[in-house]
Amino acid sequence: MSIVVDKDNHFHHAHGQHFALVCPSCTVLSHLSPVSTPRYEDLQRFKPKEVGVVFRCDACNTPIFLKYPVKSYADDRVELSSNYMEIERPMEQFDFTYLPEDSEMMFREALTCFSHNAMNAFASMCRRTAGQVFRDLGETGKMKIFDQCSEIRGLAEIDDDTFEVVRRILFDSEDGRDSMPLINPSQAGVLLEFMRDILYQSYVRKGKLQQAMMMRRYLTEDAEYGSSAAGGGPRR
């Protein structure tokens, strides 16, 4: 199957209106709509070996950039191979301000793997990150995080199979390599949200609260000092 750009600049996909893939942004299997395609005249003039096409995810409206090899040039059409390559995935963002150095380093690497569609490498780095968190917080903290994950499961209505994959990745022994399950993009998206919540609750929330309380005490003390100064010293 192939894709065609005809002389009237119409873009014909081999799958018609049923072209879909797992969106790298929302991780939903969604239909993609072409929003920017190469001009037939430019293709015939420059004859590139590869061309880029911009699609829009119908689920979240995020642009997705795909690169296609050119199969052939004809007088009335340019035929592209259906074997595309994703050329850009939005880098996942996270507030690392309050994370310990080791946890920050590991989760940054995890996000890099996710953004490059290396989902099983992403899962491995999530396991290492979670292991570091558990070492920081101790066994009691680990059990608290497990309860937190169970709550997320209920609130988000996560299916049993997906939760079991997440549970094995995060809570099985780091040394138990045989217990590390393979993960698909949809499950990786769920795992990412679990990791965001774990790190937020474990470090970011605490850090922000401490900073807010410190600022509150500073403002209170400053106000008290200002009031005292305004009252002046003893009268003569």
What does the pLDDT profile of the chain (236 residues) look like in tens digits? 578 999 999 988 866 655 777 787 776 778 888 999 999 999 999 999 999 999 998 988 988 888 889 999 999 999 998 888 776 566 777 888 889 999 999 999 999 898 877 889 999 999 999 999 999 999 999 999 999 999 999 998 899 999 999 999 999 875 555 578 999 877 888 999 999 999 999 998 886 887 778 777 777 766 666 666 655 555 44
113 and 200 within one domain: yes
In this predicted structure, what is the pLDDT of residue 110?
94
In this predicted structure, what is the pLDDT of residue 18?
59
Helix, strand, coil content of the chain in percent (nearest 5): 55, 20, 30
Asked whether residue 236 is domain-assigned, the answer is no
Handedness of CA 138, 196, 106, 124 (dihedral sign): positive
In this predicted structure, what is the pLDDT of residue 79?
94
Quote the distance between the C-alpha of residue 178 and its chain's center: 26
Domain boundary among 67, 88, 109: 88
Q: Is the pTM for the entire model greater than 0.75?
A: no
Q: Give the whole-angstrom CA distance, residue 103 versus residue 35.
A: 39
Domain boundary among 88, 121, 137: 88
Asked whether residue 228 is domain-assigned, the answer is no
Nearest C-alpha neighbor of 196 from the set 124, 148, 231, 158: 148
113 and 144 within one domain: yes
The total domain count for the chain is 2
Domain that holds residue 19: 2-88
Asked whether residue 95 is domain-assigned, the answer is no
138 and 207 within one domain: yes
In this predicted structure, what is the pLDDT of residue 50?
93
162 and 106 within one domain: yes
What residues are paired with 34 via a beta bridge? 55
In this predicted structure, what is the pLDDT of residue 165?
94
Asked whether residue 96 is domain-assigned, the answer is no
Instruction: Find tokens 């590390």 and name the residue.
Output: 180
Contact (Cβ atoms closer than 8 angstroms) between residue 5 and residue 43: yes
Asked whether residue 113 is domain-assigned, the answer is yes
In this predicted structure, what is the pLDDT of residue 17?
55
In this predicted structure, what is the pLDDT of residue 15?
63
Burial 73-98 (b: 16+ CB within 10 A, else e): eeeebbbbeeebeeeeeeebebebeb
Domain boundary among 33, 56, 88: 88
107 and 84 within one domain: no
